[in-house]
Amino acid sequence: MKVNSGFGLLFLLSCSAFAAAPITAPLQPTTGPGGSDILYTAVQRGIYTVKGYSAGTGYDYYIYTPAGITPGPTNPNPLRTPASAPIILFIHGYDGNTPQPYLVWMAQMAQMGFIVVWPEYDSVADPGLNSYLTAIGLVFNAAVSELATLGGVQPMLGSNDKPLYTIAGHSLGGDLAIGMAAGYQNYGMPQPAAVFAIESGQGTFGKSVNAAKMNPSTMVIFVDGDEDGTAQGTAEHLCDNVTFWTAAPQAPMFKQFLFAITDTTGTPQQLMSHWFPLTYTLRDDVRPYSVDDRDYNITWKLSIALSNCAVYGTDCNYVFGNGPLNAYGETAQVDMGLWSNGVPVTPLLPISDPTAYFAASPYLCTTGTN
């Protein structure tokens, strides 16, 4: 039988092209708290300054609010600007004196119906846990007053007529988020409904935080990545969250610990280092500096779902991991989507006992000493 050599060459080339097709990370899901099906647009209300507690000091802060979406082909039934909304107090990492690295994350929060308050707390003359928390308390209360002056969407009030809010913190911001939840009365704050602490830690700050003083009704999610230091002395961020989890008085269901595991199957690689919550910054590990699956399915999904669960009682399946399994056997809590070749991205790993899990090599976390 005569073989058409031209056809054979074309067939081989097409197979080669198919085999060489790059594997890419999941696109943003359309639904869910990290999805593209947003409720509102996000509006930056301005940069404000509140006078510090010591002479000659002041703290800048930013406010982002949800606003109604103009009707259009992709959103024919938009929601109007809400009259009120819960607040997410967003606490940045050490020396993060600009909101730029977190802007896209905060925009997603506002687009999902939350007021976001971002304080620049670390311009104090006497840096330390108490000084930082004092600054954050001043900013929070100043922002509530500023919103009343501005008009428009106002803080939603709880049963005690105090603003209803949750806290999200990264790096040192995670330490401060737990510190605020443990001592909110000392800083003129109401009790937070929930805390999202991701990659907590900066030097010895965590040693001054007594997570045992948190109210047991405050929901908490702790998240750490497997590349956030793996040897004793360099795992300070991970070990802070382990210490906080161990001391926290919440029932196990209400203090979730999720471990993010690196997956380099495709592009961009899903590297779970200390900096993965950042976007559009030189410290983000993935090039180019962009939003990717780690944002959609970890930071955005979990922080917003936690706030929705604590405030409205919705999206709790993302928080507790007790919902139905998807087509490839994962819950909404741990699901990271599919690579373009159909293989699941390594899911988040719920750790039921971080104290024991991270005491072993290579982490060697000793609770109480960070």
- Asked if the structure places residue 1 within a domain, the reply is no
Helix axis angle, 172-183 relative to 236-247, nearest 10°? 20
- Asked if the structure places residue 108 within a domain, the reply is yes
Question: The domain spanning residue 138 has which CATH number?
Answer: 3.40.50.1820
User: Which residues make Cβ contacts (< 8 Å) with residue 88, sequence separation at least 6?
Assistant: 109, 114, 115, 116, 117, 165, 166, 167, 168, 303, 307
- Asked if the structure places residue 134 within a domain, the reply is yes
Burial class (CB in 10 A: 0-12, 13-18, 19+), 292: buried
Tokens coding 167: 């806290």
**pTM of the predicted structure, to 2 decimals:** 0.90
User: Which residues make Cβ contacts (< 8 Å) with residue 167, sequence separation at least 6?
Assistant: 88, 89, 90, 91, 177, 180, 181, 192, 194, 195, 196
Cα angle: 128, vertex 242, 199; to 5 degrees: 60
- Asked if the structure places residue 284 within a domain, the reply is yes
Specify the number of domains making up the chain: 1
Q: Cβ distance 111 to 33 under 8 Å?
A: no
Averaged pLDDT, 334-362: 94
- Asked if the structure places residue 163 within a domain, the reply is yes
Phi/psi of residue 243, nearest 5 degrees = -60, -45
The three-state secondary structure class of 219 is: strand
Name the β-bridge partners of 219. Answer: 194
- Asked if the structure places residue 179 within a domain, the reply is yes
- The amino acid sitting at 206 is G
- Asked if the structure places residue 13 within a domain, the reply is no
Question: Domain containing 167: what range?
Answer: 23-357
Which of 64-78, 137-151, 244-258, 295-309 comes out lowest in average pLDDT?
Answer: 64-78
How are beta strands 165-170 and 87-91 bridged, if at all?
parallel
Bigger pLDDT: 80 or 110? Answer: 110
Distance CA 286, CA 272 (A): 10
Give the model confidence (pLDDT) of 70-104 as tens digits.
666 655 566 788 999 999 999 999 888 889 889 99
Q: What pLDDT does 3 receive?
A: 47
User: Which residues make Cβ contacts (< 8 Å) with residue 156, sequence separation at least 6?
Assistant: 84, 85, 86, 87, 163, 164, 311
- Asked if the structure places residue 35 within a domain, the reply is yes
Distance CA 28, CA 85 (A): 25
